[in-house]
A and B are shown apart, each in its own frame.
Chain A
Amino acid sequence: MKGITFLLIGIFFGITMTKSEALSWFRIYEMFRFESFHMYGIIGTAVVIGAITMTMLKIFKVKVAGGGLVSYTPLPLNIKRHLISGTIFGLGWALVGACPGPMFVLAGNGYFFILVVIAGAIFGTYTYGMVKDKLPH
């Protein structure tokens, strides 16, 4: 697949994050206060339609680019790891009001202070890579 394909899908993603307001710091704050259905509606719709789509692709054995079938490599189940890592992420998500996708889209929207958050995220990722062997997985 050519780079231009992913550039175009990325552009659509950036437009979607903006027009859906999912990139909004305020929307995330509102979501965690359960004061609006907006974010739940977005994620719920995406998961329901996504699950139906993925299931159909599997049932009809649709070939994807590269000739393979649709599959998902499951993570080994480790309840402690999923909950702890998820909680760490959630603490950051609610603090900076943006998950990774929206961070980049916010920069495109002209909110350049988000670059400091992105720098923090890169450093957090680097730190994980350096200490990962000491963490339960």
Chain B
Amino acid sequence: MLDDLIYPSWHWSISGLAIAFILFLLTMAGRSFGVSTTFKNICGLVGAGKKNEFFKFDYKEDSWRLFFIGGAIIGGFIAGVLFPNPFAVSLDSDTIFALEKLGIAYPTDDSLGHGFFPDEYFRWDSIKAWIIALAGGFLVGFGSRYADGCTSGHAITGLSHFQLPSLLTVIGFFIGGLLMTHFLLPYIL
């Protein structure tokens, strides 16, 4: 009985509610929900703040993010390793078929079987995987800083505060995402 509660994935409505609750908790704690700034803080921690004011790590203002992200990693371990859902993500059959055409087998290309990441495609010994991972990560890092926020900062927090700049940014997320998924990925993967 308890197992049915702690192992399976959550319904989207419960998941959305949980994210809104995180926004509420961080707001009450006097902080703004936004994950991408962590990358800037990491730059600052490794010394980029000496050359460029932008990266300066302000212990009082920034240290909470390191605790938050440390917690996020632990939370991933708890939910995915200690109490994993025994079933892989149930994708739409059209999606699985489209993945097959890209050369990705679902769910077998996920070595852990959760349907979270195609690590049999993105392998340590594949130069192509390294290039895609570094380039994609670069775009996410560069784009989120230029946008001054990522999914949490704009799509969740900004939209919850009725911000037009956030709405435009989210529209941009989808322009880029749709371009990549429909026109570029077939040539890249």
Chain B residues, CB < 8 A from A111: 112, 116-117, 119
User: What's the least CB distance linking A104 to chain B, in Å?
Assistant: 5
Q: Mind listing 25 A-B residue pairs with CB under 8 Å? A: A7-B68, A13-B72, A18-B76, A26-B89, A41-B16, A46-B16, A72-B161, A83-B172, A87-B172, A89-B173, A91-B179, A95-B135, A95-B188, A100-B152, A108-B81, A110-B81, A111-B116, A113-B117, A114-B117, A119-B134, A120-B135, A122-B39, A126-B141, A127-B141, A129-B48
The majority secondary structure among interface residues of chain A is helix
CB of A95 within 8 A of CB of B95, answer no
User: What's the least CB distance linking B114 to chain A, in Å?
Assistant: 7
For this complex, into which size category does the number of interface residues on chain A fall? 35 or more
CB of A29 within 8 A of CB of B160, answer no
CB of A70 within 8 A of CB of B172, answer no
CB of B140 within 8 A of CB of A96, answer yes
Contact with A along B70-95 (1 / 0, CB 8 A): 11111111111100010001011011
CB of A110 within 8 A of CB of B112, answer yes
Instruction: Name the one of B68, B152, B172 contacting A90, with C-beta atoms under 8 angstroms.
Output: B172
Chain A residues, CB < 8 A from B48: 126, 129
CB of B39 within 8 A of CB of A100, answer yes
Chain B residues, CB < 8 A from A64: 27-30
Chain B residues, CB < 8 A from A32: 174, 177-178, 180-182
The CA-CA distance from A1 to B68 in the complex, in Å, is 12
CB of A46 within 8 A of CB of B20, answer yes
CB of A101 within 8 A of CB of B72, answer yes
Residues of A in contact with B (beta carbons under 8 Å apart): 1, 3-33, 35-39, 41-51, 53-54, 57, 62, 64-66, 68, 70, 72, 74-79, 81-101, 103-111, 113-114, 116-130, 132, 135
Known A45-B20, A77-B165; judge A88-B146 contact (CB<8 A).
yes
For this complex, into which size category does the number of interface residues on chain B fall? 35 or more
Chain B residues, CB < 8 A from A11: 71-72, 74-75, 78
Instruction: Name the one of B31, B43, B71, B184 contacting A7, with C-beta atoms under 8 angstroms.
Output: B71
CB of B140 within 8 A of CB of A100, answer yes
User: What's the least CB distance linking A60 to chain B, in Å?
Assistant: 13
When C-beta atoms are compared, the residue in chain B nearest to A115 turns out to be B133
Which chain B residues numbered 119 to 177 have a C-beta less than 8 Å away from chain A?
119, 122-124, 129-130, 132-148, 150-152, 154-166, 168-177
CB of B18 within 8 A of CB of A124, answer no
Q: Lowest 6 CB-CB distances: which A-B pairs, in order?
A: A86-B172, A14-B75, A10-B71, A90-B176, A120-B137, A45-B16
Known A46-B23, A120-B138; judge A89-B92 contact (CB<8 A).
no
Instruction: Name the one of B80, B134, B173 contacting A18, with C-beta atoms under 8 angstroms.
Output: B80
Chain B residues, CB < 8 A from A122: 39, 42-43, 137, 141
